[in-house]
């Protein structure tokens, strides 16, 4: 690791860019709108500096100022950047049709996720094909240990990456979330043997998911696809075998499209 300056910037990097990035992260942390003073206090950067950075970011439409309160929030360009990130993901574009047909076939919601640090980022979400109101979960970020998508991916990672994730933070989302690394390691062994992962109210009370990993040409998991819905339908008496077969089939097809060899595409 390189030497760091007082405010954490690494040498050889540009401090003002680093500071601007910290402002964006702070505004994106869910704190809502923040004023110059609040940002100055939170980031430990002088108010004058914050003000200059905000004005620059505002000109680029990366932040915007609320005309009434004078506080700042993320700007419209951030949305474009977020969408560009999602679009750049090959897995997402390739999964669109597969996820849609899977959702139609099983009449449940389908989600595609990638691993982003210790969390699963939902990059695609097809609503359950009925007339009910549902919220779009694209962009949601879920601790890997509380998600079938996460377990399906992590079970097939290289051993050292898997061990690092097991040694990291394992947040609890419900009373059923597995947070004990040893128990979770056993769960992952089972996932690796079965080729699919199950989530039984570990992320949301009442909700379940059955997910299978998607592999790339190196045979490594690039993401996972899962059928999500109420546990009484998905796991009536353990995972519904038809749903398991359906999601594994789609994951295999997607893996093949991603260039995975036959062995990897079989899920192990």
Partner 1 sequence: MPVKSGSLLNLGPYDGVRFAMTEQRSLAARRGLTASARNARVAGVGGPGLRRGGAGMSDGLVVLDAGFIRSWIRAAAEELAAARDHLTQLDAAIGDADHGVNMDRGMQAALAALEDGADAPPGRLLLAVGNAIVLKVGGAAGPLYGSAFRAAGTTIGEDLVFDGEGLLAALRAGLEGIQRLGAAVEGDKTIVDAWLPAVAAFERELRSGGSTAEAAARAAVAAEEGARETIPMQARKGRASYLGPRSIGHQDPGATSTAILFQALARTARALGT
Quick one: which of 198, 202, 215 has its CA closest to 258?
A: 215
Q: Around 149, how many Cα atoms within 13 Å sit in the side-chain half-sphere?
A: 27
User: 166-203 b/e with 16+ CB inside 10 Å = b?
Assistant: beeebeebeeebbeeeeebeebbeebbebbbbbbbbbb
Distances in Å between the Cα of 152 and the Cα atoms of 18, 108, 131, 190 are 35, 19, 30, 10
Quick one: which of 246, 44, 229, 221 has its CA closest to 125?
A: 229
Among the residue ranges 59-67, 126-134, 208-216, 218-226, the one whose residues contact partner 1 (CB under 8 A): 126-134
> What single-letter DSSP state applies at residue 238?
B
Candidate residues 6, 84, 133, 167; the one interacting with partner 1 per rule CB under 8 A: 133
Q: How far apart are CA 60 and CA 76, in angstroms?
A: 10
Per CB under 8 A, 175 contacts partner 1: yes
Interaction residues for partner 1, span 206-245 (CB under 8 A): 206-207, 230, 232
Per CB under 8 A, 204 contacts partner 1: yes
Among the residue ranges 41-49, 159-167, 187-195, 205-213, the one whose residues contact partner 1 (CB under 8 A): 205-213
List, in sequence order, every residue forming a beta bridge with 198; answer none if it has no partner: 210
Q: How far is the CB of 81 from partner 1 (least distance, A)?
A: 16
Q: How far is the CB of 232 from partner 1 (least distance, A)?
A: 8
Candidate residues 95, 145, 147, 177; the one interacting with partner 1 per rule CB under 8 A: 177
First to last CA, the chain: 35
Nearer to partner 1, 195 or 208 (CB): 208
Per CB under 8 A, 131 contacts partner 1: no
What residues contact 69, with CB distance under 8 A and at least 6 apart? 33, 35
Nearer to partner 1, 111 or 151 (CB): 111
Per CB under 8 A, 159 contacts partner 1: no
Nearer to partner 1, 8 or 139 (CB): 139
Per CB under 8 A, 139 contacts partner 1: yes
Interaction residues for partner 1, span 81-110 (CB under 8 A): none
Among the residue ranges 3-11, 148-156, 197-205, 255-263, the one whose residues contact partner 1 (CB under 8 A): 197-205
Quick one: which of 28, 29, 100 has its CA closest to 62?
A: 28
Per CB under 8 A, 134 contacts partner 1: yes
13 to 32: interface string for partner 1, x by CB under 8 A? ---------------x-xxx
Residues that bind partner 1 (CB under 8 A): 28, 30-32, 122, 132-135, 137, 139-142, 172-177, 201, 204-207, 230, 232
């Amino acid at each position: 690791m390189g030497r760091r300056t007082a405010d954490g910037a690494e040498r050889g990097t540009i401090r003002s860019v680093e500071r601007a990035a910290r402002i964006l992260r702070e505004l994106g942390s869910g704190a809502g709108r923040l004023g110059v003073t609040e940002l100055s206090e939170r980031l430990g950067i002088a108010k004058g500096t914050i003000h200059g950075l905000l004005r620059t970011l505002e000109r680029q439409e990366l932040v915007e100022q609320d005309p009434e309160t004078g506080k700042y929030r993320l700007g419209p360009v951030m949305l474009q950047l977020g969408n560009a990130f999602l679009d750049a993901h090959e897995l997402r574009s390739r999964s669109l049709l597969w996820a849609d047909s899977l959702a139609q076939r099983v009449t449940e919601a389908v989600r595609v996720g990638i691993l982003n640090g210790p969390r699963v980022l939902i990059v695609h979400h097809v609503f359950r094909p009925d007339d009910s109101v549902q919220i779009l979960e694209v962009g949601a970020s879920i601790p890997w240990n509380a998600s079938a998508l996460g377990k399906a991916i992590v079970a097939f990672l290289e051993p050292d990456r898997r061990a690092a994730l097991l040694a990291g933070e394992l947040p609890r989302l419900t009373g059923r979330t597995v947070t004990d690394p040893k128990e979770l390691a056993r769960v992952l062994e089972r996932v690796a043997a079965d080729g699919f992962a199950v989530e039984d109210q570990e992320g949301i009370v009442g909700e379940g998911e059955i997910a299978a990993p998607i592999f790339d040409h190196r045979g490594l998991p690039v993401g996972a696809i899962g059928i999500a819905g109420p546990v009484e339908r998905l796991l009536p008496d353990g995972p519904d075998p038809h749903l398991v077969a359906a999601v594994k089939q789609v994951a295999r097809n997607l893996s093949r499209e991603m260039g995975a060899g036959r062995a990897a595409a079989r899920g192990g």
